[in-house]
Amino acid sequence: MSFIKEFKEFATRGNVMDMAVGVIIGGAFGKIVSSLVDDVIMPFVGTLVGKDFTSALNVEINGAMVNFGTFIQNIVDFLIIALCIFIMIKAFNKLSRKKEEPAPEPEPTKEELLLTEIRDLLKKK
């Protein structure tokens, strides 16, 4: 199989297309969550702390600025995205669960078959 044909088969497979859509939506969703954290949550936390939260947790060590506030802000971003993904996957799994099919009845044993025949013969008489 040629490389191009093999790649075309790979790229047009359903899972790859679903993954591509997921990546695109995930990127857009990440921007929404970042905006939520940057523009809503952190300013609120800043009012509780008394100043800008990210700049309040900056430390200069030997001329290098260590931004603990930005790091914490990114952790909050991650936790919100992880929580949303968890909820979406849980909902998807709940919707995609197949209804449990009843177990098929077991095959009758030789004894049961003989008893059924005897019963049928007695009914005829």
Residue with tokens 């921007």: 31
pTM above 0.75, yes or no: no
pLDDT given for residue 99 in this prediction: 60
Residue type at position 24: I
- Dump pLDDT digits (tens) for 70-120: 888 888 888 888 888 888 878 877 877 766 566 778 888 999 888 998 999
- Dump pLDDT digits (tens) for 36-68: 888 888 788 777 777 666 666 778 888 888 888
- Dump pLDDT digits (tens) for 21-40: 778 888 888 888 888 888 88
Q: Are 66 and 22 in contact (CB under 8 A)?
A: no
Q: Are 23 and 85 in contact (CB under 8 A)?
A: no
| Domain architecture of the chain: domains with CATH | 3-124 (1.10.1200.120)
pLDDT given for residue 103 in this prediction: 73
